[in-house]
Amino acid sequence: MIYPDRLQVGDTIGVLAPASPPNMEKLYQAIPLLEKKGLKVKLGNYVSTVYGYLAGTDEERLDDLNTMIADKTIKAIFFARGGYGTGRIADRIDYALLRDNPKIIWGYSDITYLHTAIHKQAELVTFHGPMIESDIAKPDFDSKSFAMLDQLFAPMEIRYTEEISPLHVLVPGTARGQLVGGNLSLLTSTLGTSFEIDTKDKILLIEDIGEAPYRIDSMLNQLRLAGKLSKLAGVAVADFADSSPKASPSLTLEEVFDHYFQKIACPVVTGFKIGHCTPNIAIPLGVEATLDSTSKTLLITPGVQ
């Protein structure tokens, strides 16, 4: 994997919206927080554009992304928000250009499609972290989540333990491998495409929001049928916000996880505060990690050089 260069004080980061349109008032409220980190912020040309449920046409969103990839003064690309739409432009991103101009890519949720595509097409480490308008701009955005930006300024090993959140061992053991994954519904949507997630010998991270247990069951079953759960090194189950059943009777989310993960021969630990939650612990994807059920620890190697 290619590791992007670390940020320096005074560097410029680009902010754009490859999916749904951001609330620009909230976006502008978050920019001073990034500037306090010593960063300059440059907005994409079309970040304020609205095209239905998209932040501009596919051509406009694609142009913003490829332009920022090519711009050598932009050292990192942060995304304003998720929603829907990143997958619509995935097949026209200039991955060769990104490989030649590696830079920090930061976001989550719908950006999961981009993480998976970049890992496959450009072999670049990316970051699963809070977004500008939908997270950092919130009045209650917590200091622990904001502090995770520090990993971009110096190589930092992330040690996730129960000091952050209670963790539950579903299947015991120790796993070592490349950390991949993100939003479960987006991972499922890559199946059958040239951007299909590779899970063999990997530690798979999953999270989601607003999905009832039967929907999570359906997505895990699709991953199972596609062979994505059969040769895993391990599974880190992160936050599944607003996942209560929409109808009764229903299986619980825990029963769904038990059904799919008790059958696989690898360690599985649940409870990580990563995703649509507070705190939202940012982590690099594509790096080596160790999941240890005995110490209830996820140890993640640095994502920058």
For the cut 90, the answer to whether the pLDDT of residue 246 exceeds it is no
- pLDDT attached to residue 248: 86
- Catalytic-labelled residue, pool 207, 211, 243, 293: 207
Domain ranges (residues) in the chain: 12-149, 158-300
Edge to edge, the sheet with strand 12-16 lists 40-43, 12-16, 74-79, 104-107, 126-128, 283-285
Out of 115, 119, 128, 276, the active site residue is: 276
Q: pLDDT value at position 186?
A: 98
Out of 3.40.50.1220, 1.10.1240.10, 3.40.50.10740, 1.10.10.60, the CATH code matching 12-149 is 3.40.50.10740
On average, the pLDDT of the chain sits at: 97
Residue 63 confidence class, pLDDT cut points 50, 70, 90: very high
- 277 has a pLDDT exceeding 90: yes
- Does residue 147 register a pLDDT over 90? yes
Residue 263 confidence class, pLDDT cut points 50, 70, 90:
confident
Catalytic residue from among 20, 109, 134, 185: 109
207 is an active site residue = yes
- Structure letter (DSSP) for residue 237: E
- 109 as an active site residue: the answer is yes
C-alpha separations of 182 from 10, 40, 77, 79, 294 in Å: 30, 28, 18, 15, 24
CATH no., domain 158-300: 3.50.30.60
Is 157 catalytic? The answer is no
Task: Determine contact, residues 20/81, Cβ cutoff 8 Å.
Answer: yes
- State mean pLDDT over 130-139: 95
